[in-house]
Structure 1
Amino acid sequence: MNQSKQFPQLSAIALAVLALSIHCQAAAQEASAAPSTPTAVQQEIQQVVVTGTASASGTRKIDAAFSITTATEEQLKMAAPSSTADIMKLVPGAYAEPTGGQSGANIQVRGFPSGSDSPFVSVQVNGNPIYPVPVLSFFEGSSSFRLDDTIERVEVLRGGPSTIYSVGQPGATMNFILKKGTDTPEGSLRFTAGTGNLRRVDGVYSGKIAEGWYGMIGGFYRVTDGVRKSGFPADDGGQLSASLTRKLDGGELTFYARGTNDKNAFYTGVPLISSNEGRTISAFPGFDPLTGTLMSNEMRNFTVEAAPGRTLNYDLGDGRGLKSTLLGMDFQQNLNGWQVSNKLNYFKGDLNTIAMFTGNNPLSAADYLRAAIASNNGNAATLAAAGGVRATTGVMTYVKGGAVSPNQQVVQAGLWAVEKKLQSFTDEFRVSRDIGAHTVTGGAYVANYSSKDVWFLGNSHLMSATPQASLINVRLDNGVVVANNGKDGNIFYAPVASYDGDNTALYLADEWRINDRIKLDAGVRREKQRLNASVSNLGSVDPDNNPLTVYNNGTSAPTGSFTSLEREDSVNSFTLGGLYKLTKDSSVFVRANQGHTFIYFDDMRNAGSQAVLDDRSRVPTPKVKQFEVGFKTATPLYSAYVNAFFTDFTGISFQQITTTGVLYSVSGSEGKGVEFELALRPITGLQLQLTGNWQDSEYKDNPSIAGNTVQRQPKFQYRFSPSYRLPLGEQAVRVYGTYSRIGSRWADQANQQFLPAYETLDLGVLAELSDKLELRVSATNVTNEVGLTEGNSRLTGGNASGPINARPLFGRAVEASLTYRF
């Protein structure tokens, strides 16, 4: 591509607000030889962002009165993200837990109480949400998007005016901008190999098709066994994207399409040893926490006993995959001084979850057997089925043959199947006009979306606490079958549900340029949401009508009747901000806003009738208030973006799916903190970058957790990223790295499961072999740090000393890629 010389000059993991300042002295020297080429600092100063701006044409980042981070295609590659969610490590104030694999990440935004999934992160393509709801049970927004070389850049807006535009997300908005064709044809092919037998090819080509018409096409295909050794392919699939742009007189029209068919294994906890009240974590005997997983070929294909005579088959290799189609349009036009914009898209996809979810902590086979005997002897129905004969002993054998030692550590894990079909249509129309010193913007947003769900939770299996575990059968001496083919637990929750929702919003905003230094803006939004749901009523069945097979007694199954739920909410949001330019290239800003998140499908199902009662007694619509004060500057020597924030939440819904059911609660929180992006360029080619945040956020309103620290969010985290570009004749080599420290956290709202702080080191090198050929080698978690991103979320209570289940970081992973540009 014709930007290949520019890309190697960019920082390894720097954000675009800083990266465009990289290597400024070297760029200045190049500029002196070619005055028409802008320096890196000039590029940063002139950089335009489009996310969260009143005008669809965007505004200079240095003039934006809000916090936004951007990353170019090259910066994304240097960051070596393991998934879409992992991009958030580039963003100060964000903390992503990508240890589940490509999908199903948990993403935390500073000061926003979420815990699991990513309710305060919306994912967009070309300014429009892929799916308008950021999170549902077994779906979070980043799962609907796969990275490839068709992405030009990503913009991540935090807070600010986002409560007014598009979906009105008060937290963070990830907006991926697709490449478009230009007058100069360009393309690339990239071949990648790496840890886990990774083999991947990426390609993209763009250019002029005819006069006024431009196109782009590209995608990827990848196969890998995964960084955890499951014994079967973990990730297998690909993607194809295309765009068609028509240049208009005073505007342009772009159509885009993306088809994805990708299977991704989902990783949950593994056995570990906890001591010192969870402050010290070490490897479980015989289990590598960095590469091991309980999943194995033996259990890859499993069954679900859904009802008498109804057995379903599933494949763990399907994991949390994505099979989807995305179609969109982006129209911008200047009509006699009116800036008109319309963005729409249509999304349809299957986002199923076929995965293992760990349950109770490991224990010896002897202890498991004693507990099984006591439990079944104490169950009157089981005892009656056994003719009143109490069990005194039992036999534990491996499904594939052989006796289980009483000292063998065993563990239970559920093999869950959740089928989820999503569909949505969104459209945002806006018009802006300059009236004197004011730019007035009015807009409308509409969305219609649905989810069709079939769930089978539970399905516990007993297995050895070993990598690629072996399933275990258990039979008591009174004829009671505790575990058969490894299955030792029923399906405890099996709803069938159909959900539909629609949103309509109107907004009005005004930007007032008082003078060359002072700018004020304000906006209001009125939004209405309507939800309806049909959720199956559940009863209990015995699929084999044999009370002695206790592993499937009491299986949850739909009764054939349904409960209908409907809810309608209307909410006002606003934003008010101001920017004062200290100099041409530095400024301070203030921002206040109030937003909301609405009740989503699962909140309504979990709360039942309590969700749809009158306003005085029903579950409330969550409210979010924020206040920000920030400073930003960019010079050849340094760059600084610092933002202080204050947040206040009420009525936030939480759910926790345990080994036996679903827990539901509502609370609020309040927080404060500072986020920062700093960079220093002391000599030509060298950049030293520091990003991160400090925060203090606590729960309120719910007496059971009020005063506790918001779960899963470190009080302090930072990332130090040095990079150095060494010219070698007409080419160059860049070496880069990132040292990250994530502070300690609490895994749960009760602040009983402690997650210790951890540090990681990532390294990389990019070598320009010629004008068209480059080689990149990157390594993540070089030191093999055993850091926990999640405790045992299937259990309540604290980390006991001894064996536990928890989810650690992936071990060291190395990738090498060769790129040819043409």
Structure 2
Amino acid sequence: GARSLGEALRNIPGIRAEYAGGEGNASYSIRGLPLASSGSKFLQLQEDGMPVLEFGDMQTFAPDMYMRFDLNVAQIEAIRGGSASTFASNSPGGVINLLSKTGDVEGGSVQTTLGLNYGEHRIDADYGHKISDTLRFHIGGFYRQGEGPRTVGYDAYKGGQIKLNVTKTFANGFVRVYGKYLDDRTPSYQQIPLMVSGTDAKPIFTSIPGVDIKTGSLLSPNIVKLDALNDPKNANRDTVRDGQHSVVKSVGFDAQFDFGGWTVSEKFRFADITGGNISVIPLLTSSATAMAVVNGGPGATLSYATGPLAGQTIANPSTLNGNGLLMSALDTNDTANSLRNITNDLRVSRVWKVGKGDLTVTAGFYKSSQNYNSDWAFLNLLSDVNGEGHAALVDIKTAAGVAVTKDGYISLGDGSEFHRKHDVNYAINAPYGSINYHIGKLAIGGSVRYDMGKVKGTVSGTGLPYTGTGPGKVDYDYHYLSYSGGVNFRIAEPLAVFGRYSRGGRAAADRILFSQAIDYATGSLRDSSLGFDEVTQSELGLKFRHSGVTVNVTGFSAKTSEHNVQVNSAADGTLRVENIIRGYRAKGVELEAGVRRGIFGLTVGGTYTSAKIGSDPLHPELLDNTPRHQASLIFEATPQVETEHLTVGANFIGTTSSYAQDVNQLKLPGYTLVNAFVQVRPIARVQLMANINNLFNKLAFAEIAQGTIPAGGVVLGRAYAGRTVSATARYSF
């Protein structure tokens, strides 16, 4: 019943996934590594063994925006912990890989899904076939359209993808070519104003009249850009309707052959990635009366700028929409001109018999080129606070009738505009190798990887710390060594223990652009250590597998350095963007278990983490605080019963409380979300399914922007969607 990739990945033990923003640009971390900002900085998302984007936290364009969870997926692989440091570049915390079906199992299916209490119409299909004994293919994809789980007043979800691969096998290997075309639009759900009472330790959150935090949104067809207002023919161009627009055109090949005891593997992918991300981000919510006076002076008047009441005066601002509020917000329009990604991975390996054991040696070379060519245009708008797709822009005039706003946009000429241009390329060369020896009950091994990066391009726009003329230069190199070593000892056939120590790195990428890290006259780094962040990890664990029972327990500790950009709140509650320089430390225990007995199955996972901010030269008052959103315990469990014609079960996802911000004052309440599912197979080849996400309609927060309860009792928050029910019919052939 997962309705997004984030919902699916949240069920992997150790993974923190914050996916309340919709399908794409979710935030992911693992085993206590910090989640200081958006995206997946220390965790790499891949498709078929190659990264979707080289960096998991490119601002406003995260990799899950360009991948979809559909019938093409055969399985999801996860490498968690330090061994991932040398498995791939920029992945010291872990790697999650979506593997595609390849036609080795013939047949296919077609299914249709309908949202019963929300707007979703979707069709999926896939088919695999063996053309001959040595040639096979698989093709699949989906298309969907609908309003989505939140009421916005238009079809916020629209698009789909198609994927194809062809495999030719030989006596000593195979060659596979594949392609993908994705063109999909999804909404970007941002924070919503809500009321809070009680105390920081025990807050009580309630929805503002007119905006239900579980079903509502401030997105609306009435929020349009200036050019659309001036030219009605462009009413659907560059408006919030476009949301997160993801376009991917990719081709690649995968080959593996055995030559005289050597195994040679070659992977290549070219991905032309474009699109955009348009969202409405609240900055400040206040009474409409006060907002009018602050912006227009005593006697200022308000009127609707858009929507069915456009031009009409708001006679009584104090009762506007039943809440009497106005919102100052950013209308962000981020265009991905090119996120082109070219990757190649060549490796060779061989197994030698050494004594009574096997010695496996692997060597490889990874090369990639990642573009970050994007334009940002942020405008400051004024909107009423109204859900259900009814929000409209508002104009202010002084008592003398002088316009303070233009078509609902505030002070466009005084620097409130936020424009940035990025045209930067990240080139990476990374040789790597590993040695592993297995003898009897003992396996011991180590691996190394050396990343060499070249960053070159230009940046320009507001906020650039550069006094020269023309765009700022970006031209610097970085390099770092990653290594990992571990040992596994099998005590008995079903029981083994293991230990591992690892060091990995993560290039700073676009997060240090528009900061003091770079001398924009020369393009060089002011300090070579600013080019990457370092993660060291220790792991000690136990693995047990016997008679349908699996138990994995891993103790871990990690130290992380961090250069990042964080959106948080100032003391008065308004949002701000900060460059942070920090060190973190964490330790904890991860449990993964499963049992299968007849018709009953159960999988469970849980991660206990104790994490602290170890250093922060910009905010020393935060030392030893718990990082924001870091709960002591996250957990998941899926019990199910499966018979010949029926499968029924539930998926439990939960977390204990955490702090809204690093100041460790306002608490985010813990929660448990229950997702129920039932599948009926009345006749061969036919499956009927029902899924209920958030069965008990629980209010569960992913984030609150404010660090403490403000005097006005209004904060900005983002919650997971309320109860949604869908029905699916599938026919297999």
Structure 2 length normalisation: TM-score? 0.90
Residues 1:751 and 2:675 aligned together: no
Percent identical residues: 23
1:355 pairs with 2:279: yes
Aligned residues of 2:194 and 2:213 also touching (Cα < 8 A): yes
In structure 2, the partner of 1:688 is: 602
Partner of 1:566: 475
Q: Partners in 2 of 1:335 and 1:148 — Cα distance?
A: 36
Matches within 5 A, 1:522-671: 522-538=446-462, 561-609=470-518, 616=527, 619=530, 621-636=532-547, 638-656=549-567, 662-671=577-586
The 3 A distance-change label for structure 1 pair 720 and 661 is closer
Mapping for residues 277-426 of structure 1, pairs under 5 Å: 277-278=199-200, 279-300=203-224, 303=227, 314-361=238-285, 363-373=286-296, 391-399=297-305, 400=310, 401-407=312-318, 408-420=324-336, 421-426=338-343
What does residue 739 of structure 1 align with?
A: 652
1:776 is the counterpart of 2:692? no
Shift in alpha-carbon separation, 1:205–1:820, aligned structure 2, 3 A: same
**Cα pair 1:537 1:560 within 8 Å, conserved:** no
Superposed displacement of residue 121, structure 1: 2.0
- Aligned partners of 1:365 and 1:405 also within 8 Å: no
Structure 2 counterpart of 1:724, from 635, 641, 645: 641
Correspondence 1:94 to 2:15: yes
Task: Classify the secondary structure of the residue corresponding to 1:268.
Answer: coil
Relative to structure 2, which stretch is displaced further, 748-757 or 343-352?
748-757
For 1:482, the equivalent position in structure 2 comes to 404
What residue in structure 2 maps to residue 520 of structure 1? 444
Distance across 2 between alignment mates of 1:780 and 1:660: 31
Counterpart of 2:139, as a letter, is I
Q: Indicate the residue corresponding to 1:495 in structure 2.
A: 420
Contact 2:380–2:409 (Cα < 8 Å) also in 1: yes
Partners in 2 of 1:602 and 1:720 — Cα distance? 35
Q: Is the 8 A contact 2:299 2:399 kept in 1?
A: yes
Counterpart position of 1:785: 698
Q: 1:761 to 1:670 in 2, by over 3 A?
A: same
Deviation at 1:284, TM superposition (A): 1.5
Shift of 1:720: 2.8
The CA distance in 1 between the partners of 2:463 and 2:360, in whole Å, is 59
SS in 1 for 2:295: helix
Where does residue 221 of structure 1 map in the other structure? 143
Q: Deviations over 1:60-79 (max 9, x none)?
A: xxxxxxxxxxxxxxxxxxxx
Structure holding more strand per residue = 2
State the shift of 1:219 in Å. Answer: 0.5
Q: Partner of 2:61 in structure 1? A: 139
Give the equivalent residue in structure 1 for 2:321. none
Distance in 2 between residues matched to 1:218 and 1:409, nearest whole Å = 47
Contact 1:398 1:404 in 2 (8 A): no
In 1: Cα distance, 2:226 partner to 2:2 partner:
31
Question: Matched residue of 1:314: which SS?
Answer: coil
Supply the distance in 1 between the matched residues of 2:162 and 2:382 (Cα, whole angstroms). 38
Q: Deviations over 1:314-343 (max 9, x none)?
A: 121111121111212111111110011111
Report the AA paired with residue 154 of structure 1.
Answer: I
Q: How many residues align?
A: 697
**Distance in structure 2 (CA, Å) of the matches to 1:752 and 1:791:** 12
Aligned mates of 2:568, 2:236 — CA distance in 1: 22
| Cα distance change on mapping 1:711 and 1:660 into 2, 3 Å | closer
Match of 1:167 in 2: 89
Instruction: Please list every run of 5 or more consecutive structure 2 residues that lacks an aligned counterpart in the other structure.
Output: 319-323
Distance across 1 between alignment mates of 2:268 and 2:568: 35
Structure 1, unpaired ranges of 5+: 1-79, 374-390, 541-555
CA deviations on 1:242-273 (whole Å, 9 max, x unpaired) are: 00001011211111111000011111111211
Counterpart in the other structure of 1:32: none
* Deviation digits for residues 380-433 of structure 1 (CA, Å, limit 9, x no counterpart): xxxxxxxxxxx4311112232242423122222221100012101111111011
Q: How far apart are residue 583 of structure 1 and its match?
A: 2.3
Determine whether 1:804 maps to 2:715: yes
Separation (CA, whole Å) in 2 of partners of 1:102 and 1:740: 18
Deviations 1:17-75 (A, max 9, x none): xxxxxxxxxxxxxxxxxxxxxxxxxxxxxxxxxxxxxxxxxxxxxxxxxxxxxxxxxxx
Q: How far does the alpha carbon of each residue in 1:412-470 deviate from its partner, in whole angstroms, 9 at most, with x for none?
A: 22211000121011111110111222101111100111111111123222323444213
Does the 8 Å contact 2:419/2:461 carry over to 1? Answer: no
Contact 2:517 2:530 in 1 (8 A): no
Tell me which amino acid in the other structure corresponds to 1:287: V
